[in-house]
């Protein structure tokens, strides 16, 4: 199983992305290219999920800088507004920037302390309930295996969701109902050890 078009995937916790910060992650799967993502928050609080690549010369946006409500690429300081439109090119400051110059912005939803995206996601992200967002736990196993293990594990009070990262890499994200993030972290770390030790 891999990233499915139409599905929503949690790719960050809200607390991973304070205002002005760029968070780097990826979404991929067994038979698809890994899509690198740059997740950033404008000064007005809005969260953006973009392909981590400036359309000009391919430099990762995650190397760049949030300036107010815009993201500035580190290479040539081109500025991009929320939604992805390029607004300013310092090498040609008097030029009206053509509409074709555009960062690739992914759909984004913020719900229950998590940031969600996907390829043409349908409807709303899954409802995980109430609680505190746990620390993300990367597991070096394919998504299907992690999913099976989680279904069999006894993890009370945890509502979990999976982010496929590559062929063999999955990130566990979710909420803990009683807010005890440290206990959730210990339980998931134990599960990770168990999964990764099975060769």
Partner 1 sequence: MSTIDPILWNDWHPVAETCTLLSGPPVETVLLGVPLVIAADADGAFHARRTDDVPLHQDERYGLVWVCLGTPERPVLAIPEADEPDRPAVTVGSIRVQTAGPRVIENFLDLGHLGYVHARYLGDDPHTQVLPYKVDALPEGGIIATGCKMFQPQASPAATEGFMVDYVYKVERPLATCLYKANPVHRDRFDVIFLFAQPVSEEESIAHPLLLCLPDGTTAADLRTFQQLIFMQDKPILENQVPKRLPLADGAELPIAADKSSVAYRRWLSKIGMTYGVIPAQARAA
Task: Note the residues at the interface with partner 1 (CB under 8 A).
Answer: 36, 52-53, 55-60, 63, 74-77, 89-93, 95, 100-101
Shortest separation between residue 64's beta carbon and partner 1, angstroms: 10
Q: Give the tokens for residue 130.
A: 């109430």
Query: Residue 72 half-sphere exposure, CB side, CA atoms within 13 Å?
Result: 12
User: Would you say 8 or 78 has its CB closer to partner 1?
Assistant: 78
Shortest CB 77 distance to partner 1, Å: 5
Helical axes 181-197 vs 143-152, angle rounded to 10°: 120
Q: Which is nearer to partner 1, 73 or 191 (CB)?
A: 73
The upper half-sphere exposure of residue 22, i.e. CA atoms within 13 Å in the direction of its Cβ, equals 23
Task: Show the tokens assigned to 137.
Answer: 């736990």
Contact of 198 with 145, CB cutoff 8 Å: no
| Shortest spacing between CB 35 and partner 1, in angstroms | 11
- The tokens of 163 are what? 């982010």
Complex with partner 1: residue 91 or 122, whichever CB lies closer: 91
Q: Which CB, 10 or 89, lies closer to partner 1?
A: 89
Minimum separation from the CB atom of position 78 to partner 1 (A): 9
- Smallest distance from the beta carbon of 127 to partner 1, in angstroms? 35
Residue 24 near residue 18 (C-beta atoms within 8 A): no
Q: Which of 149, 187, 198 is nearest to 170 (CA)?
A: 149
Nearer to partner 1, 35 or 192 (CB): 35
Both tokens of residue 117?
């995206």
From the list 10, 17, 24, the residue with the least C-alpha distance to 52 is 24
């Amino acid at each position: 199983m891999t990233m499915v078009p139409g599905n929503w995937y949690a790719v960050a916790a809200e607390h991973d992305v304070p205002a002005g910060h760029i968070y780097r992650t990826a979404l991929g799967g067994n038979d698809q290219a890994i899509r690198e993502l740059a997740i950033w928050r404008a000064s007005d609080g809005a969260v953006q999920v973009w392909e981590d690549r400036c359309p000009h010369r391919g430099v990762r946006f995650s190397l760049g800088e949030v300036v107010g409500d815009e993201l500035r690429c580190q290479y040539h300081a081109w500025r991009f507004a929320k939604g992805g439109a390029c607004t300013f090119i310092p090498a040609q400051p008097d030029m009206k920037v053509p509409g074709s110059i555009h960062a690739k912005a992914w759909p984004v939803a913020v719900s229950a302390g998590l940031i969600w995206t996907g390829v043409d996601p349908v409807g709303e992200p899954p409802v995980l309930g109430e609680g505190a967002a746990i620390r993300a736990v990367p597991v070096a196993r394919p998504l299907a295996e992690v999913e099976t293990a989680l279904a069999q594990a006894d993890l009370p009070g945890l509502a979990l969701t999976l982010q496929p990262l590559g062929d063999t890499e999955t990130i566990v994200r979710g909420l803990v109902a009683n807010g005890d993030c440290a206990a959730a972290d210990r339980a998931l770390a134990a599960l990770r050890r168990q999964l990764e030790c099975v060769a």
